[in-house]
Structure 1
Amino acid sequence: MLDLNKNLIGIYEKALPSHYTWEEKLSAAKKAGYDYVEMSIDESDERLYRLDWSVHERKEVVDAIRKTGIRIPTMCLSGHRRYPLGSEDDRIRQRALDIMRKAIILASDLGIRVIQLAGYDVYYDKSNDHTIERFEHGLEQSIQWASQANVMLAMEVMDYEFMGSVEKIMHYVRKFQSPYFQIYPDLGNISAWGNTLSTDLASGQGHIVAIHAKDTMPGEFRRVDFGTGCVDFIEGFRQLNQMTYKGPILIEMWNDDKEDFMAIITNARKWIMDKMQQAGMTV
């Protein structure tokens, strides 16, 4: 049963074996003590295919959620790295819009409440005023679709300078003024850019709907073991506590199908919970 007296702690799908069924993934997360799993829709053909799942394939996921009691309330939609909304190639940009529309429909079908967006105007091409303009128009259309489906979009603080801080995302929150467009900060990415964690989080007061927790180093945004990087988790969690943030905390990890993944994700949860407790948060 859902515990409403604490910040829920989730685990990223890529921390779990890729060959597992959804029931096996959710069961493993439950065994490790997690409250939920975040689904990944990345730029690979395998995961983009999920956007075209049949009714039967969607039902299999919903049945796994009901059977295990572990929800999938958030989706990490990073497929726009390959197909960005700001692309100057009309075919790529149309594919980006198709991905967004289908992701919103999939989220609605599976009970996913928040889609985390990747803030790339372009990624593999060079950014310019035109790509930013096209990105903004695409984002505006995406927010309209999300509002019609009653699904929230939340921009992640990225490993890409264009959206490299909460304050930069707030520009678009103020621009679009929609309850269906909010912020999904990544404590690691904020820190890797050299931003002051507490100050940057405070700039998003009232608009933060979920948190990614991972460790990083300056210029190194992935696969940094907890406790070996530059992120001051106690500072970040203390600031969130002062802001009375009660939303979910997602542990973002890539375990690459390691055999000891259960020990890794179990220890990561305990490590993060200790930092949260030191910061005064309820766990």
Structure 2
Amino acid sequence: MALFAIFEGGTMDRRDFLKGAASTALTLGILGSASAETEQFRTERERKMAMKKAILFSMLPESLDLDGKLKTARDAGFEAVEMPPISDPAQIKSTRTAADKAGIHIHSIIYGGWQAPLSSPDPKIAEQGTAGLTSAIKCAGELGADGVLLVPAMVDGVTRYTEAYERSQKHIRPLIPLAEKLQVRILIENVWNNFLLSPIEFARYIDEFRSPWVQAYFDVGNVAAFGWSEDWIRTLGRRIRKIHLKDFKRGPRQFCNLLDGDINWHEVHKALSEVGYNGYLTPELGGGDEAYLKDISSRVDKILAG
């Protein structure tokens, strides 16, 4: 079956293909080429400036209080932070106030979904996952974040691939109106969960929602064991709304610090520029002190430099 037919979920004869192939490829981003608008109006310097640095809240020094952590992040050169979900209204308010005081933006809520996967065959577990995602979306709205990271499903000995695909979509769809109302995207991340194992499938999964409020949170390092990050970026294209950074050594098959592994960062930067990416780059690594964070920040600067 032709590639375009896979994405549309049907068949297409030769005449229809010759008539519509160009527009279909452009819409889906399968050709991975930058849009005419991006090429015309974005200089290389503007692309570099558009991409911004963020840091995981969990990477900040544990010994510091909230104000100290956010100030340290800002002093290390990060413009934004990615937070875990917060359920207490008072804590949400104090966190928003602290971020404003530090001059740092909360850009995303890293919900996840491992504990109560939407793909679970147990309705109670799936309902817990739906409730958790709902709470995370509301938290994001209160904190001024525009995205929630979601691991949508897990495939294992109990849950078949098709079941994970269908169940997760079924539980996500009812939350799209809430996401739109609060202006918070549900961002699907690629992780080692035996699911969405190719960029083509990942793109199809997102497109089937037919909503700008369900998009991709792409992790550069998570695909390195079985693919090439730049290929995934060019295929997913403008579906990518946020980026996680980590490096990977293919020989020992282990994650490592940025620039210490086998990721081709020059090609990654080139691919991000081609698809017009202008969001946050957030390292997802272990935590450390201020010197460590400044080193991470400088490594991200080198990636941004291309």
TM-score, normalisation: structure 2: 0.77
| Aligned residue in 1 for 2:111 | 77
Does 1:15 pair with 2:59? yes
Aligned alpha-carbon RMSD (Å): 2.3
CA displacement 1:176-199 (0-9 Å, x = unmatched): 110101111111012222x12222
Q: Judge conservation of contact 1:10–1:38 (CA < 8 Å) in 2.
A: yes
Q: Judge conservation of contact 1:114–1:153 (CA < 8 Å) in 2.
A: yes
CA displacement 1:31-72 (0-9 Å, x = unmatched): 11111111134xxxxxxxx2x21x322110111011111111
Q: Judge conservation of contact 1:164–1:189 (CA < 8 Å) in 2.
A: no
Q: Secondary structure at the match of 2:216?
A: strand
Does 1:244 pair with 2:276? yes
| Aligned residue in 1 for 2:195 | 162
Q: Judge conservation of contact 2:221–2:248 (CA < 8 Å) in 1.
A: yes
| Aligned residue in 1 for 2:135 | 102
Does 1:67 pair with 2:97? no
Q: In the aligned structure 2, how far is the partner of 1:56 from the partner of 1:239? A: 42
Residues 197, 57 of structure 1: alpha-carbon distance in 2 compared, 3 angstrom cutoff: closer
Q: Judge conservation of contact 1:84–1:121 (CA < 8 Å) in 2.
A: yes
Q: CA deviation at 1:95?
A: 0.5
Residues 119, 219 of structure 1: alpha-carbon distance in 2 compared, 3 angstrom cutoff: farther
Q: Secondary structure at the match of 2:237?
A: coil
Residues 221, 245 of structure 1: alpha-carbon distance in 2 compared, 3 angstrom cutoff: farther
| Aligned residue in 2 for 1:205 | 237
Which residue identity does 2:147 align to in structure 1? Answer: V
Residues 272, 123 of structure 1: alpha-carbon distance in 2 compared, 3 angstrom cutoff: farther
Q: Secondary structure at the match of 1:81?
A: coil
Q: Secondary structure at the match of 2:195?
A: helix
Q: Judge conservation of contact 1:158–1:165 (CA < 8 Å) in 2.
A: no
Count residues with an aligned counterpart: 259
Greater shift, 157-166 or 215-224, is seen at: 215-224
Q: Judge conservation of contact 1:115–1:152 (CA < 8 Å) in 2.
A: yes
Does 1:265 pair with 2:290? no
CA displacement 1:148-206 (0-9 Å, x = unmatched): 3221111112122313444322112221110101111111012222x122222111122
Residues 72, 165 of structure 1: alpha-carbon distance in 2 compared, 3 angstrom cutoff: farther
Q: CA deviation at 1:135?
A: 1.5
Q: CA deviation at 1:144?
A: 3.3
Q: Secondary structure at the match of 1:34?
A: coil
Q: Secondary structure at the match of 1:209?
A: strand
Within-5 A mapping of 1:211-226:
211-218=243-250, 223-226=255-258
Q: In the aligned structure 2, how far is the partner of 1:5 from the partner of 1:82? A: 37
- Unpaired runs of 5+ residues, structure 1, are 42-49
Q: CA deviation at 1:218?
A: 4.2
Q: Judge conservation of contact 2:99–2:106 (CA < 8 Å) in 1.
A: yes
Q: In the aligned structure 2, how far is the partner of 1:219 from the partner of 1:93? A: 37
